[in-house]
Amino acid sequence: MHIGRTTLSKFVIEQTRGAHSEMGALLIDVAAAVKTISGLVGKGALSGFSGSMASTNVQGEVQKKLDVLTNEAILRHCEWGGQLAGMASEEMDAPYAIPAEYPRGRYLLIFDPLDGSSNSDVNVSVGTIFSILQRPTAGDAEPADFLQPGARQVAAGYAIYGPSTMLVLSVGTGTHGFTLHRESGNFILTHPDIRVPETTREFAINTSNERFWEPPVQRYVSECKAGKTGIREADFNMRWIASMVAEVHRILMRGGIFMYPKDNKDPAKPGRLRLLYEANPMAMLIEQAGGAASTGRGRILDVAPEALHQRVPVMLGSREEVERLERYHHEYDTGADRPFASPLFAERSLFRD
């Protein structure tokens, strides 16, 4: 039973009193969208919405039917309340204008409606990621309004659709987890003030791309794989789910580091993950939980966006491991890592600018 426990509605109202009181209503609308998506995802193959469509999104990726349906769910739940100046989605080429019949606010909602959607057909956890920014005044958003560094986010969060549906949220006062109580329909605060352990012995990366990584990442992963017989003198476990929400959720619950680094597989892309829709909101959640989030060469939240669908390298999780990776990048960039050279790093010239 959840009698007497804090609900999401009560939490956001208490946390957003004052300057961000309207944001509380927006977050409640986002939570309503999450409940709708949870229902869609939870039906699995019974919904009739599994599989891919003939269309692609702006990144050239084949869209799943659920990508389109979940995108629509968020738009419909959030467009009418009067808190928003505009929305932007990973699934849409351009920002979404609030329909003329609805009032405008000063907030901007940026979201990935179904992160890891390729996993939905095989019943692996997927999620929704969102970020909230603001503009100085209410009105119709301009495209430039969305291009703000992640440090200016006023809220960020994700929902994970697994054995239970959870919504993990930060409004700048820590990172907090809420579990959906299906009988009542309420999100209940079950994980207050989540903290990421500073140290870890667990890492997540897609090692099939190892030959494309920059030498600092090759160095870090090779040291982890060497275990107790290597210079780290400790055994590490490797994880990879191919769903950023699931990876970050595991790190928030028990520590670890997640890496989707820069590589030379596609030189036109400086990274794989989207700055506005994925990297920034997850970086805020991790930092608010005491962890760190970096591109390898700087704090993610300090990156100045240049485009709506910009990509960046992402390394986030337990602070000590993220700082080690940053140090390896610095040593590589300055040539200070030469004593560590090995055949694994022989192709370093491929990565020089």
HSE-CB for 41 with a 13 A CA cutoff: 34
* Sequence-distant (≥ 6) Cβ neighbours of residue 301 within 8 angstroms: 149, 150, 151, 153, 280, 283, 284, 287, 293
Q: What is the DSSP letter of 334?
A: H
Round to the nearest angstrom and report the end-to-end CA distance of the chain.
58
- Return the pLDDT at 342: 45
Lookup result for tokens 């919904």: 47
- Return the pLDDT at 61: 62
- Return the pLDDT at 52: 57
pLDDT in tens, 331-349: 999 998 765 554 444 444 4
CB 214 within 8 A of CB 222: no
- Return the pLDDT at 7: 97
CA-atom Rg of the chain in angstroms: 20
* Sequence-distant (≥ 6) Cβ neighbours of residue 251 within 8 angstroms: 196, 204, 257, 258, 286, 291, 316, 317, 318
Q: Which residues of the chain have pLDDT under 50?
A: 1, 54, 342-353
45 by Cβ neighbours in 10 Å (0-12 / 13-18 / 19+) ranks as exposed
pLDDT in tens, 17-44: 887 889 999 999 999 999 999 999 988 7
Residue 254 backbone zone (phi > 0: left; psi -120 to 50: alpha; other: beta): alpha
Q: Distance (Å, rounded) from C-alpha 182 to C-alpha 189?
A: 14
Residues pairing with 112 in the sheet: 129
Q: Distance (Å, rounded) from C-alpha 56 to C-alpha 66?
A: 13
Residue 308 CB coordination number (10 Å): 22
Write out the H or E segment, with its range, that includes residue 244: helix 244-254
